[in-house]
Amino acid sequence: MREFELLQHVFQATGKSQSVLIPPGDDMAMVQVDGVNLLAAVDQLVEARHFDISITPVHLIGRKAITRSLSDVAAMAAIPVASLGTITACPSTHDEWAAALFDAMNETADQYNCPLIGGDVAIHHETGSPMVCTVTVLAKPGLNPPLRRSGAKAGDNLYVTGALGGSVDENGLGRHLTFEPRINEALALSEILGPRLHAMIDISDGLGRDASHIAELSNVSIEIDAGSLPINHGLDWRRAMSDGEDYELCFAAEGDVPNQICQLQVTQIGRIVALSDSLKPSIIVRDGSTQIDAASLGWEHGNS
Q: Residue-wise pLDDT tens for the chain (304 aa)?
A: 555 565 556 656 565 688 999 999 999 999 999 999 999 999 999 999 999 999 999 999 999 999 999 999 999 999 999 999 999 999 999 999 999 999 999 999 999 999 999 999 999 988 889 999 999 999 999 999 999 999 999 999 999 999 999 999 988 999 999 999 999 999 999 999 999 999 999 999 999 999 999 999 999 999 999 999 999 999 999 999 999 899 999 999 999 999 999 999 999 999 999 987 666 788 899 998 888 888 778 655 444 4
Per-residue pLDDT, 106: 97
State the amino acid at position 17 in one-letter form: S
Per-residue pLDDT, 44: 96
| Integer Cα distance of 247 and 232 in angstroms | 14
Reported as type and span, the H/E element at residue 60 is: helix 58-75
Per-residue pLDDT, 304: 45
**For residue 89, what are the β-bridge partners?**
123
Q: Considering only CA atoms, which of 105, 87, 84, 80 is closest in space to residue 28?
A: 80
Which domains are delineated in the chain? 3-141 (3.30.1330.10), 157-293 (3.90.650.10)
State the amino acid at position 1 in one-letter form: M
pLDDT tens per residue across span 161-184? 999 999 999 889 999 999 999 999
pLDDT tens per residue across span 139-154? 999 999 999 999 999 9
Per-residue pLDDT, 301: 42
State the amino acid at position 286 in one-letter form: R
User: Residue 164's CB: how many other CB atoms inside 10 A?
Assistant: 27
Residue 85 half-sphere exposure toward CB, CA atoms < 13 A: 31
Tell whether the torsion through CA atoms of 63, 67, 265 and 241 is positive or negative. Answer: positive
DSSP 162: S
